[in-house]
A and B are shown apart, each in its own frame.
Chain A
Amino acid sequence: MATKASRAAARMMIAPSVILLLAWMIVPLSLTIYFSFLRYNLITPTGNPFVGWENYYWFVTDPSFQAAMLNTLMLVGGVLLITVAGGIMFALLLDRPMFGQGIIRIMVIAPFFVMPTVSALVWKNMFMNPVNGMFGQIATSLGFQPIDFMGQIPLLSIILIVSWMWLPFATLILFTAMQSLDQEQLEAAEMDGAGSFSRFVFIVLPHLARAITVVILIQTIFHLSIFAEILVTTNGGPGTASTNLTYLIYVSSLLQFDVGLGSAGGVIAIILANIVAIFLMRMIGKNLDA
């Protein structure tokens, strides 16, 4: 790819895919932005006049917006906390030689292959249901009042379900990183007088730093748009207790039939995601340089 001619040829050849991908992104994005400035409600078919920032104003001042923002942050933060901490622990466990290593490793990865709707329904009906669910049964058999997960702690329940699904992902990435740790470094630290906890803090954890940032970045991007799990379990409720930004946009545009309002929410979500992405990219960029 050195000569001018070959570089031009290369550009021509990758052009179709680049143009396709660009259109794939640009068309829906521009339509969303366009709709967000229109009064576009499917219930009031009085034409779609241009209304400026009105949709944004109503979306942001809606009391459920604040709740949704908070829930989004708690959902992302909570899942990240559980998956990263749990992932590190699982990676440490899997790193040890044990009987049936291959099968155990596959089983740990398994939850990741289950569809979000399926796993959320399984959790909702078979584990978290206060009457028929396993947790409810256990609580009842021990004489305790069973917890109504979806009613009393809806957001935490969703965090637990999503964490269960994403723990394998974090484990997989962190476990791979763990395996690339030079054993001589651990031995050197052992000779230097570091106990197992010090070895973990001073050697293992810094070694995993890069993998941890990768896990955080990828998971944040996915968790900002969690939807299926909420739809099939709590429907955003009770009230707005488990409504996140994605779900609020769904409510606006598909339950209240206000396409304009929903589009405004979508644009806000895009901006939010980009702010997070830039922030994380910087953080990771710093980490990847070293």
Chain B
Amino acid sequence: MGQIQLNHVSKSFGSVEVIRPLDLSIEDGEFVVFVGPSGCGKSTLLRLIAGLEDVTDGEIMIDGKDATGIVPAKRGLAMVFQSYALYPHMSVRKNIAFPLRMAGLDKAEQDRRVNDAARVLNLTDYLDRRPGQLSGGQRQRVAIGRAIVREPAAFLFDEPLSNLDAALRVGMRLEISELHKRLATTMIYVTHDQVEAMTMADKIVVLQAGVIEQVGSPLELYRRPRNIFVAGFIGSPKMNLIGGPEADRHKAVTIGIRPEHIEISEEAGAWEGTVGVSEHLGSDTFFHIQTAVANGPITVRAQGELGLQYGQTVYLSPRAEHLHRFDSKGLRIQ
């Protein structure tokens, strides 16, 4: 079981309100990602759930029981830290066994659980090494192993992949997703990387300045962002946001159109523009096109190679069904 409920939780450091009062419910077995720019309070929120910080107000319920005042160890949660926080003077085996040793389990049971976890995480050959002798990815797995052996109600991940290189990050992302499928335990995952959020989450919580901007499945957030912030934050490359007369024409203050929802043509279209920088990825090409309708360049994603030259005149047509409209407060107009 791992059902977590936040009721009106807030957190202040002195006079600075880091988390505004918020409600959130996380269902058992869900993979929830907290995502937002740095300083938005996502890590603080995770630490509140873990019990490493005290809430200023509100209550945290874990499996229906009030856990607000309970010490971290008794909440039945396991956490993987950004720095992995492995104990450098202990072997991998001792690192993984540490929570079991603290819980007072007998040696045979400790060994059994450590060996199980090591097998699941491909760490069997490294059990007698020190963390200092492992690669980044292996350390990451040891940290996860230390969390798994406790058989917690929920896993908390605090930007666990940010110290890995790009290739390893993609691999670990898959491993964590797979682990979630296999264990079917609640996982709460904090990241500033919207790609990680989109690819891993069952439910994404977008935070900004201590406020939840939107909660929903990745596709929900992609298709129907509730406001301009979410629209700009989710999706890569970022959504083009256009104001002024072009927005007025659609009876909105701001309109948004994703790069993949714009047709590009050399003959005719709604907006005329000149080709700026092109980024060639092979499968896709990102064009940055200067137009009269928007202040900055409009990003367009086209499949394959189009053979457009720098400075060439092109025409863009946004697909009407994918146009997002926002009012003066930045909220979505239905």
> Cβ of A290: which chain B residues have Cβ within 8 Å of it?
89, 130, 132
Partner of B146, one of A187, A192, A202, A209: A192
Interface residues of B in 68-89 (CB under 8 A from A): 71-73, 77-79, 81-83, 85-89
Indicate if the CB atoms of B103 and A193 lie closer than 8 Å.
yes
Indicate if the CB atoms of B52 and A192 lie closer than 8 Å.
no
Interface residues of B in 107-142 (CB under 8 A from A): 130, 132
A185 at the interface (CB under 8 A from B): yes
Chain B interface helix/strand/loop/mixed = loop
> Cβ of A206: which chain B residues have Cβ within 8 Å of it?
87, 89-90
> Cβ of B130: which chain A residues have Cβ within 8 Å of it?
290
Partner of B85, one of A182, A198, A207: A182
**Total CB contacts across the A-B interface at under 8 A:** 59
Indicate if the CB atoms of A203 and B79 lie closer than 8 Å.
no
Q: What band does the interface of chain B fall in when counting residues whose beta carbon is under 8 Å from A?
A: 20 to 34
Interface residues of A in 191-207 (CB under 8 A from B): 191-194, 198, 202-203, 206-207
A62 at the interface (CB under 8 A from B): no
Can you name the residue of chain B whose Cβ is closest to the Cβ of A209?
B89
> Cβ of A203: which chain B residues have Cβ within 8 Å of it?
87
Q: How far is the CB of B51 from chain A (nearest CB, A)?
A: 8
Indicate if the CB atoms of B82 and A184 lie closer than 8 Å.
yes
A204→B50 CA distance, assembly (Å): 22
> Contacts A185-B87, A203-B87 hold; do A194 and B79 have CB atoms under 8 A apart?
no
**Best-buried of A187, A190, A193, A207 by chain B (most CB within 10 Å):** A193
**Best-buried of B50, B72, B85, B102 by chain A (most CB within 10 Å):** B85
Indicate if the CB atoms of A191 and B78 lie closer than 8 Å.
yes
> Cβ of B102: which chain A residues have Cβ within 8 Å of it?
192-194, 198
Can you name the residue of chain B whose Cβ is closest to the Cβ of A188?
B85
> Contacts A209-B89, A290-B89 hold; do A191 and B98 have CB atoms under 8 A apart?
no
Q: What band does the interface of chain A fall in when counting residues whose beta carbon is under 8 Å from B?
A: 10 to 19
Q: How far is the CB of A45 from chain B (nearest CB, A)?
A: 63
A126 at the interface (CB under 8 A from B): no
> Cβ of A193: which chain B residues have Cβ within 8 Å of it?
73, 99, 102-103
Q: How far is the CB of B236 from chain A (nearest CB, A)?
A: 29
B150 at the interface (CB under 8 A from A): yes
Interface residues of B in 56-73 (CB under 8 A from A): 71-73
> Contacts A194-B102, A202-B87, A203-B87 hold; do A187 and B73 have CB atoms under 8 A apart?
no
Partner of B81, one of A187, A194, A202, A207: A187
> Cβ of A185: which chain B residues have Cβ within 8 Å of it?
85-87
Indicate if the CB atoms of B81 and A192 lie closer than 8 Å.
no
A194→B77 CA distance, assembly (Å): 14
Indicate if the CB atoms of B52 and A187 lie closer than 8 Å.
yes
A203→B73 CA distance, assembly (Å): 16
Q: How far is the CB of B185 from chain A (nearest CB, A)?
A: 16
A203→B150 CA distance, assembly (Å): 19
> Cβ of A209: which chain B residues have Cβ within 8 Å of it?
89
> Cβ of B83: which chain A residues have Cβ within 8 Å of it?
182, 184
Interface residues of A in 165-213 (CB under 8 A from B): 182, 184-185, 187-194, 198, 202-203, 206-207, 209
Q: How far is the CB of A186 from chain B (nearest CB, A)?
A: 8
Give the 3 A-B CB pairs with smallest separation, nearest first.
Answer: A188-B85, A193-B73, A192-B99
Write 7 A-B pairs (CB below 8 A) sorted by A numbering. A184-B82, A187-B52, A191-B78, A192-B146, A193-B102, A203-B87, A207-B88
Known pairs A185-B86, A192-B146; list 8 more (Cβ under 8 Å).
A185-B87, A187-B79, A188-B81, A188-B146, A189-B87, A191-B79, A202-B98, A206-B87
